[in-house]
Chains A and B, each alone.
Chain A
Amino acid sequence: MIRKLACGVGALGASMFAATAAWAQEATEAVAGATAAATEAAVAAVPAPVAEAAAAVPNPGNNAWMMTSTVLVLLMILPGLALFYGGLTRSKNMLSTMTQIGATAALAMVIWVVWGYSTAFGPTPMEGFLGKFLSSGSLFLSSVSPDTTAATFSDEVISEYVFVSFQMTFAAITAALVLGATAERMKFGATLLFTAIWLTIVYFPIAHMVWAGGGLLFDMGALDFAGGTVVHINAGVSGLVLAYLLGKRKGYPTEPMPPHSMTLTMVGTGLLWVGWFGFNAGSELEADGTAGLAMINTFVATAAAALAWMVVEKLAGHKASSLGFCSGVIAGLVAITPAAGNSGPMGALVLGVVASVVCYFAVAKLKPALGYDDSLDAFGIHGIGGIVGAIGTGVVYSPALGGPGGDDFVMSSQVVTQIIAVAVAICWAAIGTLIAGFIVKMVVGLRVSPEVEVEGLDIGEHGERAYN
């Protein structure tokens, strides 16, 4: 059991901090001396000490925090994301948008326990080169029991079922995020089939590459604290590709398509922000100081980004808007995700502002210029914000900027590593989505009929209306 953790799950914790050889050595010494500062220990997290120790017992405090974090991430999906996206659609597509999110997340949970966990974090990496992309050995969670544990970044462990649940919510929200780009025109059945294929060929391999021991990007030393690459770049790019495959909504961009309820979008934004503390601070896998760092960063980056978006609106000659506030909140949350435990609060503040400004231009200028119909800006905010965050993490990690990097941190080489990780994620997501999209198109068709689209997907696909 312990060895399994060491080679598979155990390394996962460490993966987020992906130590270079030098750091690893330093870290090992630090752990041995039992004097390591929390951040060093986190960087250090190598599986070896865990494997050699007597069977570690999960600390109930850490377990409790991780269970809380897990349900906080669920709160981000339902009702958070459902309301955020739902409010942005036209009222005739409200239920369709929310139902797609709920059903996709539910399907992702089922797939996760059947083959997802095994493929991403199973105890046995695939033979040879394939091991960088996939693992196996836990179909139907066969290797997990109440007694098995998953390593964190120190010599602590948490119960493996908690870890499985926590990671499950990540798969679920990533699948649901994609649907923001395809809202108001994709068949309900097509979203489910797409999700099943896409999780299998895109999400699980990328999660393995970034977070599992032996994964391609993990071994390269890419920093991704809570899933900027795995969740946001992945979902954003996949959404963009799927939006291209689907085509534009009927009437876009000439017909007005204003959000039908900014009130619900604001409610959803608040729920997402609250839930994101589980997502970011929970990604530390322990209730320790680094989790606290992730927490403060999730406040300040988001606050700075929300204000920055409204300032940019004002400077662009418009009014500071509620949708601007909400968009800034999401852009800030997305950008701080990979940097949550990898940045000081001041670095987070700057990162939030930069992400907000870049995302504003992506949705207000780039999208109309290129003419793609990313309905709810899944790419414009999650994709672009994710890229800014992932690359920016290589900058704000620097101890000179208040980040937790060691003295031997070299910004230029880290930034290059980050860029490579981003490029790999973009290519993998784009190609995988193309394949999944074409399969769905051939099997059930991607798009609803023009009649259904005009009448609204609520009536056409679900036989209900959101408001009576």
Chain B
Amino acid sequence: MKFIIAIIKPFKLDEVREALGAIGVAGMTVSEVKGFGRQKGQTEIYRGAEYSTNMLPKVKIEIAATDAIAAQVVETIQQTASTESIGDGKIFVLDLASATRIRTGEAGDTAL
């Protein structure tokens, strides 16, 4: 099993979610996060006073996937979330040791 963490642009979330649903991803966790990378921040100006914010809002998606579809999930996110511009985000993949469904106690692939 793989644990996939993707940081993407907020406005791409719906598109990514639909694309992942289409390839059989049954669930995900989404949070609003802030951070910075190569994109740096943005500038706000009030009556000529410039304030640069160096943290930008992003969306973090966390998905636990079976080994069978993990590569496809990564590829789908990459293709859907891309705008081919700086600040599109990153995808990280970790090995997942175990997964348990709380309601039934099922473990492993069947818990996903």
Contacts and interface: CB of A to CB of B under 8 A. Distances in A.
Nearest to A323: B46
Contacts, number: 28
Interface string A418-437: 00000000000000000000
A49 interface: no
A316 to B, nearest CB: 8
A377 to B, nearest CB: 6
Interface in B32-77: 44-49, 51, 53
Contacts of B48: 316, 360, 363-365, 368
B74 to A, nearest CB: 37
Contact of A323 (B47, B51, B53): B47
B51 A363 contact: no
A259 interface: yes
B19 to A, nearest CB: 33
A43 to B, nearest CB: 38
Nearest to B43: A318
Nearest to B44: A258
A38 to B, nearest CB: 40
Interface residues of A, number: 19
A258 B44 CA distance: 8
A324 B49 CA distance: 12
Interface string A329-367: 000000000000000000000000000000010011100
A327 interface: yes
B45 A368 contact: no
Interface in A293-327: 316, 318-319, 321, 323-324, 327
B72 to A, nearest CB: 42
A450 interface: no
A256 interface: yes
A325 to B, nearest CB: 12
A289 interface: no
**Residue with the greatest number of chain B CB neighbours at <10 A, chosen from A256, A318, A368:** A256
Contacts of B46: 258-259, 321, 323
Nearest to B48: A364
Contacts of A318: 45
A377 B44 contact: no
A85 to B, nearest CB: 14
A324 B53 CA distance: 20
Nearest to B53: A256
A364 B47 contact: yes
A168 to B, nearest CB: 32
A371 interface: no
Contact of B51 (A258, A360, A380): A258
Interface in A394-428: none
A253 interface: yes
A321 B45 contact: yes
A20 to B, nearest CB: 40
A323 B47 CA distance: 7
A363 B44 contact: no
Contacts of B53: 256
Interface string A250-294: 000100111100000000000000000000000000000000000
Contacts of B44: 258
Nearest to A366: B48
Given A259-B46, A360-B48, 13 more contacts: A253-B49, A258-B44, A258-B46, A258-B51, A318-B45, A323-B46, A323-B47, A324-B47, A327-B47, A363-B48, A364-B48, A364-B49, A365-B48
20 contacts: A253-B49, A256-B51, A257-B49, A258-B44, A258-B46, A258-B51, A316-B48, A318-B45, A321-B45, A321-B46, A323-B47, A327-B47, A360-B48, A364-B47, A364-B48, A364-B49, A365-B48, A368-B48, A377-B47, A380-B47
**Ranked 8 nearest A-B pairs via Cβ:** A364-B48, A256-B51, A363-B47, A318-B45, A323-B46, A258-B46, A258-B51, A364-B47
